[in-house]
Amino acid sequence: MKKLFFFLFTLITLNVCAQEIVIGKKHQIESKVLNENREYWVSLPSSYRKNGYKKYPVLYFTDANLNSFFHAFSGITKQMSSDASPQIPEMIVVGIVSQNRVRDSAPTNSLVQWGGTATKALETTGGADNFLKFLQTELVPHIEQNYHTADYRILAGYSFTGLTVIHSLYQTPEFFNAYMAIDPSLWWDNQIMLKRFREFSKKELSKRQLFVSTSERVPSLYPKENYVIEFIQKLEASPVKGLNVHAKVFGTDQNHHTMQIMSFYLGLKNIFSGYMIDDAIRFRPATELKAHFENISDKLGVNLKPREGLVNFFGYNRLYDNQFPTNSAAAIEFFKLNAEYYPESYNAWDSLGEAYWHEKEYKLALDAYKKSTQLNPGNSNAKEKIKEINTQLN
Amino acid sequence: MKKLFFFLFTLITLNVCAQEIVIGKKHQIESKVLNENREYWVSLPSSYRKNGYKKYPVLYFTDANLNSFFHAFSGITKQMSSDASPQIPEMIVVGIVSQNRVRDSAPTNSLVQWGGTATKALETTGGADNFLKFLQTELVPHIEQNYHTADYRILAGYSFTGLTVIHSLYQTPEFFNAYMAIDPSLWWDNQIMLKRFREFSKKELSKRQLFVSTSERVPSLYPKENYVIEFIQKLEASPVKGLNVHAKVFGTDQNHHTMQIMSFYLGLKNIFSGYMIDDAIRFRPATELKAHFENISDKLGVNLKPREGLVNFFGYNRLYDNQFPTNSAAAIEFFKLNAEYYPESYNAWDSLGEAYWHEKEYKLALDAYKKSTQLNPGNSNAKEKIKEINTQLN
């Protein structure tokens, strides 16, 4: 069925006046570990259905309530996973609201702030272990119980909460699959995380990824040393087994307060390096698409598939295209692959039925349409086709 | 008053369960020009108030309903204008829903699609003039009547709607101040827009900007010629007076369907080149901040000011900072500048009053607090301070 087909040329959608544009919901969880209520914000993929059959990797990030991060990051994630040439899979985005940022982010207790002076505002620091315990034993299990999650988790953080990301990588590297630290505050506590690197570097990980970014420091009153660059150098000098490192050092056209968008984009692009497909792949056999996703799944250690709607589009494009010669056999292979990827999708079977029907393969069409109506008894299109085919066959 | 101060360290915000995250509203306008209802989506800056005194540039873009563009683009715009080192001003973002994309985007009528074959789906093409008339005589005036708009308009479009952007630049270059065309479909109608370039290049514009992006083409069934690169070469060979051109050609790690996020980010970054301030500017005299914004205002031909909350933060930072030596005189200069920028802001005057009070300049503090209560009779903080000062002075 063409319902998931791309309407590239004509789009007619008229909605009621002044309807709100909603991108997600705010939730709360009672944390026993932290002894407080914690707020988190969730943005779901466009194809997400409450009773759906698809599973999605989850991107967790901190500071959801700062600097329009949730709005921007969830939007970028959606955009990058959309369209005819997705760069990343669709993901569930969970933004954790910073409620006690320094307490939760700092792995050690210290009163020394950036610049070298002491402040009472840092008295509560040293709670990162507790915060990670909250993440790992409360929030993540809660998300995985309540949403359709794939077995792939990303943790992202910026600046002070980037410390949490590095701490999480050091302490329990297998819990998250990928880590994104945007200009993390590695100056913290006399560069404690640099000192702990040696111990961490002895670990043996499996298919883990780290993206870390920073910028060349411009002259200011703050210390000129850039400990993130030192961290990157350490990672290069002593590669950690099973950890794929992607580092980006911006020039002076960016600084600590401007690099977030680019870092987030490049972070996702790098973590999912090898995922991107060109839409011209539809002119080649479906087996190539399948092999492509087997490769990236193997590389990342999680079962990834192209979007159902995209494969459906490829099939219809090869079946009915008016730009290039069509190829029904190639189309059928795309539809078969989609039904293999998403056997619970009535639409995948319906499309396959249509392609077989188009090729006058009535028996195969009948089987596909029957599967579609089993999955969705309300699929009147398939029911009609079944009647027609039965007439043809009898 | 510190209410606009940055809470970098502790943020306690608990909201009710499952509250929706709203980023904008969908609206409709009855277009007489197009003889149809048109839908557009609006995202307002964080500091926007219905009865507020601030004015904002407006970014118009097409395809609001495609590929999560509205979600991503409005989020990126907000993020880039936030934080301590904004790269662009806060803006009103207006996304125009594509309802008849080919009709509205194509400046001429042609049945030839990308790839060279003809299709009936293009029968309605050639309506770009009409669409621009709708924009210029209906939508933009409507937005400017109903929102607090500054005299600065940007038009952005992608792919086929990028044609509209170039057509708009050619036909009425002074209507929008800046143009962003992301991989525009310059193959259209035997490269009609390239052929029309010569005529356009004779125009004399004033402080107009164009950002255009594309990528090196990878081998595919489509024509290999990249007419956007040819367009960029023409712009370089025959610079148009008063048109500042920013071009970005991505490598093969990007393609037509992946370059949107990076293009949009770089487009804004380039259009507002010279806008960005480093937060370390607060350690230098307020006159430097003022001069910086006078320069960028002059360059772009519109009165731009730093965010009120940011200048307020600079002032408080210099007044009470615990990291670096404070400087009350410098703080007062920031607060004075803010009251000059935003004379209708009761908070700007309140902050200035506080700084004078802190410096025991009671008469000046009294004047500032009085202005604050005139603007907001409900400012109980200022009222109390006025009482205290009167006691001091008597």
Out of B219, B249, B271, pick the residue that ends a domain. B271
Distance of alpha carbon A271 from alpha carbon A213, whole angstroms: 13
- Same domain? For B77 and B116 the reply is yes
Confidence of residue A394 (pLDDT cuts 50, 70, 90): confident
pLDDT above 70 for B5: no
Does residue A353 form part of some domain? yes
Residue A123 DSSP label: T
Each residue of A266-317: pLDDT tens digit?
Answer: 999 999 999 999 888 999 999 999 999 999 999 999 999 999 999 999 999 9
Provide the shortest C-alpha distance from residue B267 to chain A (in Å): 13
Handedness of CA B236, B241, B243, B244 (dihedral sign): positive
Stretch 199-218 of chain A: residues touching chain B, C-beta under 8 Å: 218
- Same domain? For A119 and A62 the reply is yes
Each residue of B230-279: pLDDT tens digit?
Answer: 999 999 999 999 999 999 999 988 999 999 999 999 999 999 999 999 88
pLDDT above 80 for A7: no
Partners of A10 in the beta sheet?
Answer: B100
Does residue B294 form part of some domain? yes
Comparing CA positions, the residue from A292, A200, A280 lying closest to residue A240 is A200
pLDDT above 80 for B218: no
Whole-number average pLDDT of chain A: 93
Three-state secondary structure readout of chain B: CHHHCCCCCECCCCCCCCEEEEEEEEEEEEECCCCEEEEEEEECCCCCCCCCCCCEEEEEEECCCCCCHHHHHHHHHHHHHCCCCCCCCCCEEEEECCCEHHHHHCCCCCCECCCCCECHHHCCCCCHHHHHHHHHHHHHHHHHHHCCEEEEEEEEEECHHHHHHHHHHHHCCCCCCEEEEECCCCCHHHHHHHHCHHHHCCCEEEEEEEEEEEECCCCCCCCCCCHHHHHHHHHHHCCCEEEEEEEEEECCCCCCCCCHHHHHHHHHHHHCCCCCCCHHHHHCCHHHHHHHHHHHHHHHCCCCCCCHHHHHHHHHHHHHCCCCCCCHHHHHHHHHHHHHHCCCCHHHHHHHHHHHHHCCCHHHHHHHHHHHHHHCCCCHHHHHHHHHHHHHHC
Query: Residue A216 is encoded by which pair of tokens?
Result: 């060349």
CA distances from B147 to B43, B74, B92, B142 (A): 11, 17, 9, 9
- Same domain? For B256 and B301 the reply is no
Residue A216 DSSP label: P
Q: What is the pLDDT of residue A1?
A: 66
- Same domain? For B125 and B104 the reply is yes
**A chain contacts of residue B16, beta-carbon cutoff 8 Å:** 26
Does residue A103 form part of some domain? yes
Would you say B315 and B355 are in contact if contact means Cβ atoms under 8 Å apart?
yes
Which backbone phi and psi does A233 adopt, to 5 degrees?
Answer: -65, -40
Does residue B3 form part of some domain? no
CB contact under 8 A, A20 and B15: no
**B chain contacts of residue A82, beta-carbon cutoff 8 Å:** 67-68
CB contact under 8 A, A265 and B260: no
- Same domain? For A91 and A177 the reply is yes
**A chain contacts of residue B87, beta-carbon cutoff 8 Å:** 258
B204-215 and B178-182 strand pairing: parallel
- Percentage with pLDDT > 70 across chain B: 94
Distance of alpha carbon B274 from alpha carbon B297, whole angstroms: 10
Q: What is the pLDDT of residue B324?
A: 82
The shortest CB-CB distance from B71 to any of A75, A261, A324 is to A75
Mean pLDDT on A133-144: 98
Does residue A10 form part of some domain? no
CB contact under 8 A, B323 and A117: yes
Each residue of A44-73: pLDDT tens digit?
Answer: 999 999 999 999 999 999 999 999 999 999
The shortest CB-CB distance from B85 to any of A15, A82, A255 is to A255
CB contact under 8 A, A12 and B257: no
pLDDT above 60 for A15: no
- Same domain? For A128 and A213 the reply is yes
**Residue A51: partners with Cβ closer than 8 Å, 6 or more residues away:** none
Mean pLDDT on A29-57: 97
Stretch 289-318 of chain A: residues touching chain B, C-beta under 8 Å: none
Coil, helix or strand at residue A57: strand
Q: What is the pLDDT of residue B2?
A: 63
CA angle A81, A83, A86 (to 5 degrees): 40
Provide the shortest C-alpha distance from residue A112 to chain B (in Å): 10
Query: Residue B267 is encoded by which pair of tokens?
Result: 């487009």
Provide the shortest C-alpha distance from residue B195 to chain A (in Å): 25
Mean pLDDT on B123-137: 97
Three-state secondary structure readout of A142-187: HHHHHCCEEEEEEEEEECHHHHHHHHHHHHCCCCCCEEEEECCCCC
- Same domain? For B193 and B265 the reply is yes
Measured between CB atoms, does A119 come within 8 Å of chain B? yes
Residue with tokens 């050690």: A108
Stretch 216-255 of chain B: residues touching chain A, C-beta under 8 Å: 218, 220-222, 255
Out of B271, B291, B326, pick the residue that ends a domain. B271
Coil, helix or strand at residue A247: strand
- Same domain? For B291 and B378 the reply is yes
Distance of alpha carbon B321 from alpha carbon B331, whole angstroms: 11
Out of A271, A302, A337, pick the residue that ends a domain. A271
Q: What is the pLDDT of residue A392?
A: 83
pLDDT above 50 for B11: no
CATH number, domain of B364, equals 1.25.40.10
Handedness of CA B323, B325, B331, B334 (dihedral sign): negative
- Same domain? For A29 and A163 the reply is yes
- Same domain? For A114 and A175 the reply is yes
Residue with tokens 């400990």: A227
Measured between CB atoms, does B60 come within 8 Å of chain A? no
The interaxial angle of helices A346-358 and A308-320, nearest 10 deg, is 10
Handedness of CA A248, A254, A255, A256 (dihedral sign): negative
Cβ burial A183-217 (10 Å sphere, 16+ → b, else e)? bbbbbbbeebbbebbeebbeeebeebbbbbbbbeb
Each residue of B137-180: pLDDT tens digit?
Answer: 999 999 999 999 999 999 999 999 999 999 999 999 999 999 99
Confidence of residue B12 (pLDDT cuts 50, 70, 90): very low
- In which domain, by residue range, is B348 found? 283-393
Confidence of residue A222 (pLDDT cuts 50, 70, 90): low
CA angle B219, B225, B228 (to 5 degrees): 115
Residue with tokens 């505050």: A185
B149-158 and B92-96 strand pairing: unpaired
CB contact under 8 A, B27 and A17: yes
Does residue A1 form part of some domain? no
- Same domain? For B35 and B149 the reply is yes
Provide the shortest C-alpha distance from residue A378 to chain B (in Å): 28
Each residue of A81-133: pLDDT tens digit?
Answer: 998 899 999 999 999 999 999 999 999 999 999 878 899 999 999 999 999 99
Does residue A2 form part of some domain? no
Mean pLDDT on A229-243: 97
- Number of domains chain A contains: 2
B280 vs B379, more confident? B379
Comparing CA positions, the residue from B86, B260, B109 lying closest to residue B183 is B260
Does residue B93 form part of some domain? yes
CATH number, domain of A118, equals 3.40.50.1820
Q: What is the pLDDT of residue A3?
A: 53
pLDDT above 70 for B9: no
Confidence of residue A6 (pLDDT cuts 50, 70, 90): very low
Coil, helix or strand at residue A8: coil
Measured between CB atoms, does A393 come within 8 Å of chain B? no
CA angle B376, B381, B387 (to 5 degrees): 100
Q: What is the pLDDT of residue A221?
A: 61
Measured between CB atoms, does B111 come within 8 Å of chain A? no
- Same domain? For B257 and B323 the reply is no
Each residue of B21-55: pLDDT tens digit?
Answer: 999 999 999 999 999 999 999 999 999 999 999 99
Which backbone phi and psi does B27 adopt, to 5 degrees?
Answer: -130, 165
Measured between CB atoms, does A284 come within 8 Å of chain B? no
